[in-house]
């Protein structure tokens, strides 16, 4: 008897699945870290020392004593009290008036994005994103057989004129464009923030071409400068924006509590689709986040995170200017990331491989975040997880490798 040829049993959709470059790099870092100290600019997470673990321990201890159903299922769309608090949170922090009925609690923002793909996207549909865009959104929506076109950005975020130009061209070609996916604030991977005056223009263009907008707000609460950045959802007068929220970047990625908010027609379908997938989000984590919101401590946790990450951002920018003179880079006013552009003859993937193996510094090649070949020499650096006293040294080593390759 021979083993089956398992590949012949795979669905056609399985052939669209691609590996995550982030996960691959994390695995390499883990192996390397067993024998060497690695300075990592690779992750996209909160600093464990900024997350209020002691508070979580206290709240969790009390919750397991007083919440009788904490070990049972909740409704598939989330604990109703949590949905009420999220609605209040959106009003207080995002200027969005909504109802609990319009909210579905999800396994982080990632599940909300996948749900949107399941509900709205058919094979052959066209999706527009910023270029570059969040790689995991690109990967998961490719599972649904869509075509993805990136819209150029500049220092002020997505360029509305380029969006209009692309939609006009696609319309003339008879292409079916369903939606625009955007991370307007502290964008991943660029760290760029869409200028306030452009946000209104983006909504006007969406209305003009009758498309939906998926607004990913993962980094909205890590804003380091006193600038005005209203959510697209709060400015939306036509119900075109589907809001993807997440507590991951402030409260902790491991909590896995996010949400989808949007029109009832879509939300009701999301509830139906989600139930058979996971039954419900993790109930203990739902109640933990509920207690954080009820006790009004989110703002305190957020302010602590902003103070810590602003310092790290400033240290990274200072080091880039010191050790990488002449290199193009982004200057984030929000989020967790900086992009740097290597000379065109250097490929980011090879550069980061050598950087890890020879210099014990981890970074992510930004190439997979791009929808075309324009990112082959771009590297993403994360500052939120980096150790404060090692940021300067890590950037110095990047400069050392760059000098080695260019002299």
Contact partners, residue 156, CB within 8 Å, separation at least 6? 192, 193, 194, 195, 198
Contact partners, residue 372, CB within 8 Å, separation at least 6? 131, 150
- pLDDT attached to residue 23: 77
**Nearest-5° Cα angle at 399, 397 to 402:** 110
CA distance 63 to 229: 36
Structure tokens at 324: 């990488």
pLDDT digits 0-9 by tens, 130-159? 999 999 999 999 999 999 999 999 999 999
- pLDDT attached to residue 407: 85
pLDDT digits 0-9 by tens, 125-136? 999 999 999 999
Map out the domains of the chain with their CATH numbers: 11-51+300-406 (3.90.1150.10), 66-295 (3.40.640.10)
Instruction: Count CB neighbours of 87 within 10 A.
Output: 20
Instruction: Count CB neighbours of 12 within 10 A.
Output: 8
Three-class secondary structure of residue 369 per DSSP: helix
Taking CA atoms, 139 is separated from 135, 144, 176, 259, 362, in Å, by 6, 10, 20, 20, 22
CA distance 184 to 193: 5
**Could you give the count of Cα atoms lying within 13 Å of 400 in the half-sphere of its Cβ?**
13
- pLDDT attached to residue 20: 79
Taking CA atoms, 35 is separated from 32, 357, 389, in Å, by 6, 12, 20
CB 334 within 8 A of CB 351: no
Instruction: Name the phi and psi angles at 53, rounded to 5.
Output: -65, -35
- pLDDT attached to residue 335: 98
Q: Which residues of the chain have pLDDT under 50?
A: none
CA distance 6 to 61: 46
Structure tokens at 366: 């930004």
**Cis peptide bond upstream of 132, omega within 30:** yes
CA distance 182 to 192: 11
Q: Is 135 exposed, middle or buried (0-12, 13-18, 19+ CB in 10 A)?
A: buried
Distance of alpha carbon 122 from the chain centroid = 23
Global confidence as pTM: 0.95
CA distance 279 to 220: 29
CA distance 309 to 298: 16
């Amino acid at each position: 008897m021979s083993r089956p040829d398992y590949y012949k049993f795979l669905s056609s959709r399985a052939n669209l699945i691609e590996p995550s470059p982030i996960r691959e790099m994390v695995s390499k870092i883990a192996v390397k870290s067993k024998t060497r100290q690695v300075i990592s600019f690779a992750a996209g997470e909160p600093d464990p020392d900024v997350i209020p673990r002691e508070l979580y321990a206290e709240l969790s201890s009390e919750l397991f004593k007083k919440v009788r159903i904490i070990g049972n299922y909740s409704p598939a769309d989330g604990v109703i009290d949590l949905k009420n608090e999220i609605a209040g949170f959106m009003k207080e922090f995002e200027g969005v008036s909504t109802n609990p009925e319009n909210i579905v609690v999800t396994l982080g923002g990632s599940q909300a994005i996948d749900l949107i793909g399941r509900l709205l996207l058919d094979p052959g549909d066209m999706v527009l994103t910023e270029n570059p865009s969040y790689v995991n959104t690109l990967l998961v929506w490719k599972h649904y057989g869509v075509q993805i076109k990136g819209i150029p950005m500049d220092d002020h975020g997505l360029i509305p004129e380029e969006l209009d130009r692309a939609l006009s061209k696609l319309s003339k070609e008879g292409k079916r464009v369903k939606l625009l996916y955007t991370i307007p604030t502290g964008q991943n991977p660029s760290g760029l923030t869409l200028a306030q005056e452009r946000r209104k223009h983006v909504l006007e263009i969406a209305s003009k071409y009758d498309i939906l907008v998926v607004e990913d707000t993962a980094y909205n609460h890590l804003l380091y400068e006193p600038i005005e950045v209203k959510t697209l959802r709060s400015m939306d007068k036509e119900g075109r924006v589907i809001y993807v929220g997440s507590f991951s970047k402030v409260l902790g990625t491991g909590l896995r509590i996010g949400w989808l908010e949007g029109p009832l027609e879509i939300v009701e379908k999301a509830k139906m689709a989600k139930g058979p997938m996971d039954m419900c989000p993790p109930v203990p984590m739902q109640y933990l986040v509920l207690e954080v919101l009820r006790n009004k401590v989110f703002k305190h946790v957020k302010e602590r995170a902003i103070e810590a990450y602003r310092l790290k951002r400033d240290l990274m920018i200072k080091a880039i200017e010191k050790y990488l003179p002449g290199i193009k880079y982004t200057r984030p006013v929000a989020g967790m990331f900086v992009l740097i552009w290597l000379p065109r003859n250097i490929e980011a993937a090879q550069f980061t491989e050598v950087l890890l193996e020879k210099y014990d510094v981890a970074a992510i090649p930004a190439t997979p975040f791009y929808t075309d070949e324009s990112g082959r020499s771009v590297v993403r650096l994360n500052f939120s997880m980096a150790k404060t006293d090692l940021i300067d040294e890590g950037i110095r080593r990047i400069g050392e490798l760059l000098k080695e390759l260019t002299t």
